Structure 1
Amino acid sequence: MPASTSSLLATLADWRRRFLTPETLMRLLPASVILAAGIVLNIRTHDLLSDHRDLVVHTHEVIEMSKDVLIGLDDAETGQRGYLLSSDTAYLKPYVHARERLAWMAPKLKEMVSDNPDQTARADQLQALINLKLAELAHAITVHDEQGVQAAILVERDSMRTARMDEIRQVIGEMTESEKTLLSARKTEVDHDEERVRLVAISVALLSLVSRWCVEIWLGRRKRQEELGTV
């Protein structure tokens, strides 16, 4: 065997005798087990925290989408009325643009609340009301183009009596309030998760110290017993 290899093996053996003693292993093993368990618990807790934070963000997004749907309807209604009163086709641009936005926003809103049966039912109700409102707006524009301003204004007055926008605002308000309730609960879950993360870290540190203290006491007693036995 080459001298260099023999020297390396001798060094490793010496290192093992000096550092990998039973006492050293006794000191390291409990703390290592506690640390490993703490890491696993921390990973799990962080995963829950991340999930709950995602839900909080999602709830904010649902609330904002609800507001955007209402804004889109207001824009469509404003553009349509401007056109009916002025016959200026420039007012149709915001009306058309609003309809295009609503064509994807309302279905998107339903998709966002698909995990909540109550909210899904409200989203279906909202979609039906939006369809009726847009049909009313389009009908008044058709009457304007075919029969004139006065006829269109009469049609618009009739549609206003249905208070369709009030119904839409009520449904959106219910959806928003429901999401705010969920938001409060989810924020509480995030707070609890953050507290659990702190508790796990503190518990791991304390258990590691206690285990080390217990091992040191046990090793001290063992050493004294060995010394007494030698004497």
Structure 2
Amino acid sequence: MRFPKAFRGLFSWVTVASMLPIVVAVLASGYITYRYNRVVTETREMVEHSLRVTTAIDDLMIDLQDLETGQRGYLITGEDTYLEPFETARGRFEADLGALDNLIADNPAQTATAGRIATLARAKLDELDETIRVRRDEGFAAARTIVADDSGKALMDRIRDAVATMRGHEQDLLTANTDRMRRTEKRVVVVVAIGIGLSLLGRLAATLIPIFWRARLGDSRETDAE
């Protein structure tokens, strides 16, 4: 059935007017989804960054513990074999400290704490080196005297406190970014669902509008015939 020319023009305008809000809404939901996905991606990168920082902090503490273990073994036995893992741990420490510095370069608070850790850790290394030198040159008793004054322990306690501060800061960032990512992911799901719903509504409208107008045209012809 062909519509009269006047009806065809009116039908076209009504169809466009009916579909336009739906099209705009679908486009808007697509844009919002794109923006939310960007936020999710950026936030996920922040979460992964916090995890890398936490791992770097843990690596640093492992290095210090290995240094203490190597020193302790040498002080007890006087065997140079214990100095090999000590030197290996020293090399790792410098590398891991550099890696941590690179990871937190954009965070002034963490950079300041890392600088404090580096200063304390190097003081700890000096103390370890001194006890090893004294053990080698003066014997076990002299080295034990240095260890017994607890200055090395005090340094490690301060290092642990600074490390705990760094971990706490990163944990706060991790929690905040994880929560943000989850909230945004939920919003993406809602917006996508709305977009799908609007798309289906548009398809339904595109199907029903011609049917409606055919029915109206039929009613109009019946009225004219009467």
Same fold by TM-score, threshold 0.5 exceeded? yes
Q: Is the 8 A contact 1:143 1:151 kept in 2?
A: yes
2:145 is equivalent to residue 150 of structure 1 = no
What pairs with 1:15-30 in structure 2 (closer than 5 Å)? 22=12, 26=16
Once residues 210 and 45 of structure 2 are traced to their aligned partners in structure 1, the CA distance between those partners, rounded to angstroms, is: 49
Alignment partner, residue 89 of structure 1: 80
2:94 is equivalent to residue 127 of structure 1 = no
Once residues 161 and 192 of structure 1 are traced to their aligned partners in structure 2, the CA distance between those partners, rounded to angstroms, is: 46
**Cα RMSD after superposing both structures:** 2.9
Q: Which amino acid aligns with 2:179?
A: T
Give the secondary-structure state (helix, strand or coil) at the position aligned to 1:114: coil
Once residues 86 and 150 of structure 2 are traced to their aligned partners in structure 1, the CA distance between those partners, rounded to angstroms, is: 17
Once residues 122 and 105 of structure 1 are traced to their aligned partners in structure 2, the CA distance between those partners, rounded to angstroms, is: 15
Encode CA deviations 1:20-44: one digit per residue, 9 max, x unaligned.
Answer: x948x74876655444433332222
2:70 is equivalent to residue 79 of structure 1 = yes
Encode CA deviations 1:52-97: one digit per residue, 9 max, x unaligned.
Answer: 1121121112112111111110110110121112110111111111
Identity %: 30
Q: Which amino acid aligns with 1:82?
A: G
Alignment partner, residue 67 of structure 1: 58
Match of 1:137 among 124, 128, 131: 128
Give the secondary-structure state (helix, strand or coil) at the position aligned to 1:163: helix
Q: Is the 8 A contact 2:57 2:167 kept in 1?
A: yes
Q: Which amino acid aligns with 2:46?
A: L
Alignment partner, residue 49 of structure 1: 40
| TM-aligned CA deviation for residue 143 of structure 1 | 2.0
Alignment partner, residue 37 of structure 1: 28
Point out where structure 1 has 5 or more consecutive residues left out of the alignment. 1-20
| TM-aligned CA deviation for residue 101 of structure 1 | 0.6
Give the secondary-structure state (helix, strand or coil) at the position aligned to 2:106: coil
Match of 1:98 among 86, 89, 94: 89
2:113 is equivalent to residue 114 of structure 1 = no
Encode CA deviations 1:125-151: one digit per residue, 9 max, x unaligned.
Answer: 111111100111111112222222222
Give the secondary-structure state (helix, strand or coil) at the position aligned to 2:82: helix
Q: Which amino acid aligns with 1:200?
A: V
Q: Is the 8 A contact 2:60 2:97 kept in 1?
A: yes
Encode CA deviations 1:161-182: one digit per residue, 9 max, x unaligned.
Answer: 6610001111111111111111
Q: Which amino acid aligns with 2:80?
A: T
Alignment partner, residue 184 of structure 2: 193
Q: Is the 8 A contact 2:63 2:90 kept in 1?
A: yes
Alignment partner, residue 202 of structure 1: 193
Point out where structure 2 has 5 or more consecutive residues left out of the alignment. 1-10
Encode CA deviations 1:200-223: one digit per residue, 9 max, x unaligned.
Answer: 111112333445566667656655
What TM-score do you get using the length of structure 2 for normalisation? Answer: 0.80
2:161 is equivalent to residue 167 of structure 1 = no
Paired residues, number: 211
Q: Is the 8 A contact 1:85 1:149 kept in 2?
A: yes
Q: Which amino acid aligns with 2:65?
A: D
